[in-house]
Amino acid sequence: MNFVRKWPGVYKYKEYVYAFGGNNGSCLSNAEKYDIVAKSWTNLPHLMQKAKEFCSVVEHSSGLYVSSYVNPGGTSIEFFNLVNETFKLVRESSELEVPTLLCVRDQLILLKGKKSRLLMHPTGLIWWYLQKRQDLIKGVYS
């Protein structure tokens, strides 16, 4: 990696691994990709509109959605276009929540919850928890 980062959003797409945001003492708004074939990291040419940490990344509609906690206080979701490698802000909120995106049957599902609650659950437990707490599913984007 070209930047030291903890809590980034990471996603593998074709022969690349993308790393979005994270924290290296402050929230990061940059992103980079790793070429699995060439074995090298490249900084993406455009910055995210909001600095992010605790990122969640999901593929949908020929791009990647990056959702996260934004410092100071709030959250955002941005769409990353895989063709021209640009970002577009989709949603911004001042609520102290950790948005997590899932793609189920070609629909984006936004899960919202307190930072300490959702981050402590491994993926399998999130599904179990959501079956018990349907009120955490706040919106579906398509």
Q: Which of 137, 5, 138, 20 is nearest to 79 (CA)?
A: 20
Give the predicted TM-score (pTM) of the model.
Answer: 0.74
Q: Is residue 124 part of a domain?
A: no
Do the domain assignments include residue 21?
Answer: yes
Please check whether residue 25 lies inside any domain of the structure: yes
Query: In what helix (H) or strand (E) does residue 118 lie, and over which residues does it extend?
Result: helix 115-119
Residue 81 covered by a domain: yes
* Residues 10-49 pLDDT 10s: 999 999 999 998 888 888 889 999 999 999 999 998 888 8
Give the distance, in angstroms, between the CA of residue 84 and the centroid of all CA atoms in the same chain: 18
Domain assignment of residue 33, given as a range: 9-101
Q: How many domains does the chain have?
A: 1
Per the domain annotation, does 66 fall within a domain? yes
Q: How far apart, in whole angstroms, are the C-alpha atoms of residue 57 and residue 37? A: 22
pLDDT digits (tens, 9 = 90+) for 85-126: 999 988 887 775 666 776 766 777 776 655 434 433 334 444
Q: Is 129 inside a domain boundary?
A: no
Look at residue 119 and tell me if it is in a domain.
Answer: no
